[in-house]
Amino acid sequence: MALRYRSRMALALITIIIGTAFTLWIPRLLGGAIDDALYFLDGATPDKGKAQAALLKAALILFGASVLRGSFTMAHNYLGESIGQHMGYELRMAYYRKLQRMSYSYHNHVHTGDLMTRGMLDIEGVRLFVNTALLRVFLLAILIGGGMYLMLSTDVVLGFISLSFVPIVAWRAIAARLKLRRGWTELQERLSILTRVMDENLAGIRVVRAFAAQDYEMRKFHKISDSALSLANNLIGIRVRNTTFMTFTFLITVTVVLWIGGLKVIDGNLTVGELAQFLAFMFILQMPVRQLGMMVNGFARAQTSGTRLFEILDLDPAIKDKPGAQPVEITEGVLRFENVSFAFMDEFGDEQVLRNISFEAKPGHTIGIVGPPGSGKSTLAHLVPRFYDVTSGRITIDGQDIRDVQLESLRHIVGVVQQDTFMFTSSIENNIAYGDPWAENETIHRATTQAQLHDWVRRLPRQYDTLVGERGVSLSGGQRQRLSIARSLLLKPKLIIFDDSTAAIDAATEQRIRAALKEITSERAVIIISHRLSSLMHANEILFLDKGTIAERGSHEELIARGGQYHDLYELQIRPGDDAIDHVNNPAADPGSDNGDA
């Protein structure tokens, strides 16, 4: 990814070479200036003027070299950071795009906090790779290699002594960084857990308050936070101990160089300027050698973060377009289930949810689906827009297998109104027009009128510009459901599925919604899934699901006359309250008690 930016990378390498050359030149300038000054001050007739002139000239050259060194160093840091930021942008977009494409089955088994951690901390770890690892390899190679050559070419013995701290400091730096790397990875995992706990707490803050569980949540958060703090303190201890050891090793080496170099100066085998040059080289090399650990850490962190990140990026979505898939073509708008079976394949095993489901829904035709919890009603609704794929059998729209058409076109013609509605932190208008941001106000108002929401919105101080809270917490359950209905109706789908979408709406409002939708539903196939029989009694055909199969089917009148499970459920819902309570408390007394939980 970094090498895609060839011009920036080449320019960064050029600035590294030039900046390092000026860095290595500075000790030579310093040593030469000292020797020149001493040359004019030694002897029988010291010339202070010439010594001052030599020092001034050296100072000006040194200042210029330092400015140029700083400029080129700044340039290579800027270029490295620029490449890293562009990589971060690419990864964020690719990561977010991948998450948008992953199927329901994936999101059902991964925690949001985990995904957020990978999308922030891990991308940051990969982004820093260019500047802290890749370019630093060239910088350290040139700087250490050039420094070693210059020192050894001046005095071999003193050069080896001066460089004796390099392997020790490099070893400790690398060892410490690898320890810190492992610890940092563990800390990142603990922070991921911390994020997950916080996310769950904030999402369920009303439940926490309702059960007065603040103390429990604080203890849970404190335990995980304390674990992260303990590990962070341990990592700080490792870093401080190793930094102290490296500094001590370096200062011991400086002391030895100063002592032996001083003796060489006294013996006339070395000039004062050359000794100063050695010391200057050592101080310049000290930081790059320490940065060997940072470089190793950069590679290690990028490897760890990259592995976690590309575990997601390399996933193949379970639900995707077939090669050469074409948009769905609507001629009549007939939906047909043909011996459809479905099973969840996950870590809990093979759970069969639907078995051999067959029915047909035509425009102007309403299918009602009812059954006890866990009978597969919502799963059936999720199969039509291909949130999941059938295990066997097939689902067709006007004879086209939905697995053979483009997903985007399929989901444009299938409107699913779910019970669990999600609202974005935005205005009411933006939430309704989410599927068509350019919808006209008239279209939005028509959709809200059909959903029996328009009059309520008009009474608000800011009307359609009113902001809903996070996830729509400022709205009641019924208001959220009506807003969700309006959002789906706005797109005028060819097939509408109401998945218990009126559960939080009172019966009178539901009747008004149904009356307002008569014109729309007369031209479209409609599927209504509900626990409340009053919501689907008017359906042309009602399917009673039980344990994933169609136990009964027919119109309301036919099913009542049959006296089966549907009849028992109907009797349970319309009988007086006392009888209903007796039925629940003593299910054996009623022949339909096996399905009383419906």
Blockwise average pLDDT, block size 10, the chain, 598 residues: 84 88 82 71 65 78 85 86 85 81 68 71 78 80 81 82 80 74 73 75 71 76 81 79 80 86 82 81 76 70 78 77 80 84 66 82 84 80 83 85 83 77 74 77 79 78 73 64 77 79 63 67 79 78 84 84 82 58 40 36
What CATH number corresponds to the domain at position 417? 3.40.50.300
**What are the residues facing 360 on neighbouring strands?**
336
Q: Are residues 353 and 296 in the same domain?
A: no
Q: Are residues 405 and 300 in the same domain?
A: no
Q: Are residues 249 and 364 in the same domain?
A: no
Q: Are residues 275 and 413 in the same domain?
A: no
Residue 212, Cβ density class (10 Å: 0-12 exposed, 13-18 middle, ≥19 buried):
exposed
**CA 86 – CA 83 distance, rounded (Å):** 5
Q: Are residues 339 and 298 in the same domain?
A: no
Q: Is residue 535 part of a domain?
A: yes
Quote the pLDDT of residue 577: 47
Domain span including residue 549? 335-562
Quote the pLDDT of residue 249: 83
Handedness of CA 247, 250, 252, 258 (dihedral sign): negative
Q: Are residues 363 and 295 in the same domain?
A: no
**CA 329 – CA 325 distance, rounded (Å):** 12
Q: Is residue 231 part of a domain?
A: yes
Q: Is residue 571 part of a domain?
A: no
Name the domain count of the chain.
2
Longest Cα–Cα distance of the chain, Å, equals: 131
Query: In the β-sheet with 349-361, what is the strand arrangement from edge to edge?
Result: 349-361, 335-346, 392-397, 400-401
Q: Is residue 28 part of a domain?
A: yes
- 180: Cα separation from own chain's centroid: 24
Q: Are residues 509 and 448 in the same domain?
A: yes
For the chain, report the end-to-end CA distance as a whole number of angstroms: 55
Quote the pLDDT of residue 596: 35
Q: Is residue 574 part of a domain?
A: no
| pTM over cut 0.75 | no
Q: Are residues 226 and 347 in the same domain?
A: no
Query: In the β-sheet with 549-554, what is the strand arrangement from edge to edge?
Result: 414-418, 495-499, 525-529, 366-370, 541-546, 549-554
Q: Is residue 553 part of a domain?
A: yes
Residue-wise over 10-42: b if at least 16 C-beta within 10 A, else e? Answer: eebbebbebbbbbbbbbbbbbbbbbbbbbebee
Quote the pLDDT of residue 580: 41
Q: Is residue 462 part of a domain?
A: yes
Q: Is residue 159 part of a domain?
A: yes
What CATH number corresponds to the domain at position 106? 1.20.1560.10
Q: Are residues 553 and 451 in the same domain?
A: yes
Q: Are residues 381 and 302 in the same domain?
A: no
Quote the pLDDT of residue 164: 82
Quote the pLDDT of residue 576: 44
Residues 474/425, Cβ–Cβ less than 8 Å? no
Quote the pLDDT of residue 579: 46
Quote the pLDDT of residue 578: 42
Quote the pLDDT of residue 469: 61
Residues 551/545, Cβ–Cβ less than 8 Å? yes
Give residue 278's identity as a one-letter amino acid code: F
Looking up tokens 């494409």, which residue turns up?
Answer: 101
Q: Are residues 376 and 279 in the same domain?
A: no
Q: Are residues 27 and 106 in the same domain?
A: yes
